[in-house]
Chains A and B, each alone.
Chain A
């Protein structure tokens, strides 16, 4: 339980960003004319903020099924990388634990784990830590989306609380930049994301991620690891 608690606590400083994002998501559900239960259903079964925000907007415009689903899944394709990164820790885990970890994969949880890897010394500790981050994420996310649905985007506009979302991602990514190579990859990802921003169906995100991983591979390919 010690590592579950550590994982849970590692997400707490990010709460302001999650609440702000949740409030935006909740009010987007309400503005699209979805009922409370429809919003809760989508937020529970899809459980992926960025793709939900994009697809709710597309559904509001009555876009074709193929466009909505393809856009959402392309945004979520990045989870493929997180899934690959989580798999070594879950070798001996039960199917239920594997399902829970897969369902709850988020940018925040994986980045929090990556930034705290010095606190983790076994697969079991990693799984507990991860589930702790996931529990905190799920509680705060669901609560803030419900609040956003009921009260609208409750933060005063002049405070620009939505800006806490990118700021929390800055605070997430910086501790993971442990070497010059990591920093080079982050810089490359920033530049590529700008260059590929206009790609259709939000494919710029996944292309940027894949090109950045390819660069990371180039940078480490000659290094020996035991």
Chain B
């Protein structure tokens, strides 16, 4: 059971800390001069963060498909990445990955 006081304290600190992180550079916008090279660097942020959010969780996931070594989620993620590279359609990629996972786990 999570006590009310403990919960409120945690949530308040998380909320304040998170808005400070999110607002840090935005609050300073207009006062900072950002060079074109740094702006180019910003285009690398999704490539730097998004794989780190999904790769470990799916790589270390213990699956049930023996012939894929239990790594079906990770392997389908790679296949979906390749499909997405050629077919730039988000809905198609999500449907493709879900269908492929369903097929390999149901057989």
Contacts and interface: CB of A to CB of B under 8 A. Distances in A.
Chain A, interface size category, equals: 35 or more
Contact of B22 (A83, A160, A186): A83
B97 interface: yes
A174 B78 CA distance: 11
Given A172-B46, A189-B47, A225-B36, A102 B22 contact: yes
Interface in B16-44: 17-19, 21-30, 32, 34-37, 39-44
A20 to B, nearest CB: 9
Nearest to B17: A73
Given A173-B47, A185-B47, A59 B7 contact: yes
B14 interface: yes
Contact of A216 (B41, B56, B85): B41
Interface string A165-193: 11111111111111001110111011011
B6 interface: yes
A186 B50 CA distance: 8
Contacts of A220: 37, 40-41
A208 B42 contact: no
A136 to B, nearest CB: 13
A30 to B, nearest CB: 12
A213 B45 contact: yes
A55 B6 CA distance: 12
Contact of B50 (A90, A172, A187): A172
A170 B102 contact: no
Nearest to B89: A13
B94 A168 contact: yes
B33 to A, nearest CB: 9
B45 A90 contact: no
Nearest to A16: B94
A100 B89 CA distance: 29
B48 A212 contact: yes
A76 interface: yes
9 contacts: A32-B2, A47-B18, A72-B17, A158-B105, A163-B76, A163-B97, A167-B97, A170-B77, A189-B55
